[in-house]
Chain A
Amino acid sequence: MAAITEPQLGPNLEEPAGWRRTKNRMATVLMVVSFVLVIIPLVFVLYTVVVKGIKIISWSFLTSGPIPPNVAPADVGGIGPAVLGTIEIVALATAMAVPLGVLGAIYLNEYGGKGVLARLIGFFSDVMTGVPSIVMGLFIFSIWVLHFQFSGFAGALALGCLMLPVVIRSTDEMLKLVPNPLREGSYALGASKARVTVTVVLPAAIGGIVSGALLAIARAAGETAPLLFTILTVTTANPNPFSGPNTSLPSQIFANATSPYVGAQDRAWGTALTLIVIAFVLMIAARIITARFSRFSR
């Protein structure tokens, strides 16, 4: 602690007092400016997506299919197959990543403690959150698609790999907040460790765990790169995620974004608005759950 507290803090008497105050004001203004610099692109993006997307979106746009070719204007057909594909893929990814991630976090927090293995797993969960999403796509392509062809399930595997460390980390944070006396009280009543974890610790942390999972889902729903080589972006609906190529909202935007046709671009904006609304709804749901169901917070 001693090494870090050598600030030259005595006021420099040669410096006019007014200058010190001015410098301080300038620093504060710069901080506010940096916030404004972030607001501008955010507002700009959201404004563009909403204004261009709202004209396109209708019930039939969201549900009908197949997705028309790029030359067709936006009022022909719809993105129903992509909506269906995204729901299938994200639901499967969630069904895989959330239980495994929660169990992993239980190991880290309830069993591993401060042991070497638990710290190693925790460390590499953090590192894994930094693995580029396109690498996950290539990974699933190499171990799954090459042997079992393109399918929604392959996409779900890739998204699941991205979600897993995020779920582990957010659940771990929540489990850490559960006070130890709760656990000790249950042990005193003779409960086994598994029973304490499932019936006392998890219910106490459920609000935070669910909201962490929702945020992970919101991020996964918008991912394109891992899906490019796993689902193969088709234009027809495929209700079976386990066989045959599929499609999703973000892959449709990617396919349409570089098209010179106005109809394709319009469809991309409508799809982008759909995707952003989904992500925001999930995020707001996570906030509400955190606010209402979290019994222990930082």
Chain B
Amino acid sequence: MSTLTQQAGPATAGPAHPLRQRRPLGDRTFQIVALACGLLVLVILVLIAFSTTQQASSWFKTEGWAIFTNDWNPAANKFGALAFIYGTAITAAIAVIMAVPVSVGIALLLTEVVPYRWARPIVYVIDLLAVVPSVVWGLWGILVFAPWIANIYKSIASGVAGIPVLDNLFGAPTSGASFFTAGIILAFMITPIVTSLSREVIATVPAIDKEGAYALGATRLEMITGAVWPHSKGGITGAVLLGLGRAMGETIAAALVIGSSATITSHLFAPGDSMPAVIANQFGEASGVFRAALIGLGVLLFAFTIIINIIARLIVGRSAEQGTA
């Protein structure tokens, strides 16, 4: 680490520092250029917030708090976005509920069960999942997956008919393109990131804790619940939040399979809409307040995902520091 403190520390070598004053111009220029590139990240984030909010201001001004009503009717100049916020929350929740147990299971499989030479190919396969573009998931989702799963929805819906809560969730009306289909596709898409982050977190569990558990005669499951879980639950919470952020912002796959209908319903098998999906589907024909409203949805989405990501990164970072400390 000594090199890293060199330019800051005046007490590195000898008295009076004639060398420091003669730091060549090129050297200083390089440092300034590098700093500027680093600052670019902060500049872009600030610019995103500023420029999109400015473009959306007419929506915020004309609707006021009515942006949170359930009344989206561009023809009548009504732009209440509650249905999309609801759709985003529901689909992201479905995705997280399905993806998290699977991801944590794979992470545990990779870190605690299989030997290293098997872990590599498994990681490659999970990475393949991440490389399949969003639009390909959407294409497959709408042309292959949705028609196929619509039949399953129908049989589930007839099976739960009359049962109080389940009927409200899984009863009619059913459609292949729905909240639930979007949730499933999003679950496939966030599995790689949740898996790799959980794996990183679990890998920081001190070997001595795990060996101690085994030495006490614990089975692998008991070792995981006793030594791995207490150590990594914080980090895994962070990983889950990051997955949630991804699921909320995922656009194209959701736009294709969610069914594009601005409705709030408890029926998960019914078509709905989400914030990124409605932006992608309706931006082309929008102008004036309509366009401002769609950009405003982007502002809300940016705010939600930034907050979730900041919290998640703080949690993951803290847990990683604990692991290495």
Residues of A within 8 A of B (CB): 1, 4-11, 20-21, 23-24, 27-28, 30-35, 37-39, 41-42, 44-46, 48-49, 100-101, 103-104, 106-115, 117-118, 120-121, 123-128, 130-136, 138-139, 141-143, 146, 161, 164-165, 168, 180, 183-184, 187, 192-195, 197-198, 218-219, 221-225, 228-229, 250, 253-254, 257-258, 265, 268-269, 272, 275-276, 279-280, 283, 287
Residue B144 lies at the interface, judged by CB distance under 8 Å to chain A? yes
Question: Which residues of chain A are within 8 angstroms of B219 by Cβ–Cβ distance?
Answer: 20-21, 23-24
- Complex Cα distance A31/B101, Å? 9
Instruction: Give the tally of cross-chain contacts (CB within 8 A).
Output: 313
Residue B182 lies at the interface, judged by CB distance under 8 Å to chain A? no
Known: A127-B306, A192-B23, A258-B256. A104 touches B34 (CB 8 A): yes
Known: A128-B45, A142-B52, A142-B55. A134 touches B279 (CB 8 A): yes
In whole Å, how far is B142's beta carbon from the nearest beta carbon of chain A?
6
In whole Å, how far is A47's beta carbon from the nearest beta carbon of chain B?
10
- Complex Cα distance A40/B231, Å? 31
Indicate if the CB atoms of A269 and B301 lie closer than 8 Å.
Answer: no
Residues of B within 8 A of A (CB): 1-8, 23-24, 26-27, 29-31, 33-42, 44-45, 47-48, 51-52, 54-55, 101-103, 105-106, 108-109, 113, 122, 124-140, 142-144, 188, 191, 206, 209, 212-213, 216-222, 224-227, 230-231, 242, 245-246, 248-252, 255-256, 276, 279-280, 283-284, 294-295, 298, 301-302, 305-306, 308-310, 312-313, 317, 322
Known: A23-B219, A193-B7. A33 touches B105 (CB 8 A): yes
Known: A101-B37, A143-B51. A161 touches B44 (CB 8 A): yes
Which of B26, B136, B231 has the most C-beta atoms of chain A within 10 angstroms of its own C-beta? B136
Indicate if the CB atoms of A164 and B306 lie closer than 8 Å.
Answer: no
- Complex Cα distance A201/B57, Å? 47
Known: A27-B220, A127-B313. A224 touches B295 (CB 8 A): no
Indicate if the CB atoms of A9 and B256 lie closer than 8 Å.
Answer: no
In whole Å, how far is B274's beta carbon from the nearest beta carbon of chain A?
11
Known: A104-B41, A123-B313. A132 touches B251 (CB 8 A): yes
* Complex A-B: 14 CB contacts under 8 Å: A9-B216, A27-B224, A28-B220, A38-B106, A42-B188, A113-B4, A121-B39, A131-B302, A138-B279, A194-B24, A194-B29, A254-B135, A254-B256, A280-B128
Question: Which residues of chain B are within 8 angstroms of A198 by Cβ–Cβ distance?
Answer: 30
Name the CB-closest residue of A to B302. A135
Which of B2, B34, B255 has the most C-beta atoms of chain A within 10 angstroms of its own C-beta? B34
